[in-house]
């Protein structure tokens, strides 16, 4: 016997203006340059306690990435089926996804996928990562 479906709703205690920058009590921002060209930038903070660090900005894009385990970062075109494809591919190689962060610039545009993995994927995974 299953329980009847329930509906839940929540209302935020305050509205956030998406054009206003988010501020943090503690903030670390790192940029890597090569030959005067920026290769990567990342920002991080702690959520609640020093034992809970998070990357909250990557390539100037807002993200929420726990800093633990193995990280797999992918740039891809935003389209249906990418998440399922990645999960199936990693599952075939016995690699578990502990956490996932997804963001995109626009619908159908460029997407950033960040996976926290419980183990390092075998070399065959990148070779098979292209969607058929």
Pair 131, 100 in one domain: yes
The pLDDT assigned to 16 comes to: 40
Q: Can you tell me the distance from the alpha carbon of 42 to that of 44, in angstroms, rounded to the nearest whole number?
A: 7
The count of structural domains within the chain is: 2
The pLDDT assigned to 25 comes to: 73
Pair 62, 121 in one domain: no
Residue 7 CA, chain-centre distance (Å), reads 28
Write out the residue range of the structural domain in which residue 130 sits: 69-132
Q: What is the pTM of this model?
A: 0.68
Q: Can you tell me the distance from the alpha carbon of 43 to that of 46, in angstroms, rounded to the nearest whole number?
A: 11
We report the CATH number of the domain holding residue 91 as 3.30.70.260
pLDDT tens per residue, range 86-108: 999 999 999 999 999 899 889 99
């Amino acid at each position: 016997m299953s329980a009847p479906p329930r509906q839940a709703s929540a209302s935020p205690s305050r509205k956030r203006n998406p054009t206003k920058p988010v501020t943090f009590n503690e903030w670390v921002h790192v940029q890597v340059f090569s030959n005067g060209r920026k290769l990567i930038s990342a920002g991080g903070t702690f959520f609640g306690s020093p034992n809970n660090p998070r990357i909250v900005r990557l390539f100037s894009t807002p993200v929420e990435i726990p800093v633990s385990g193995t990280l797999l970062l992918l740039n891809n075109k935003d389209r249906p089926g990418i998440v399922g494809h990645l999960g199936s591919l990693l599952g075939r190689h016995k690699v578990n996804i502990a956490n996932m962060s997804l963001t995109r610039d626009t619908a159908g545009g460029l997407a950033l996928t960040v996976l926290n993995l419980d183990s390092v994927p075998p070399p065959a995974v990148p070779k098979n990562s292209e969607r058929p």
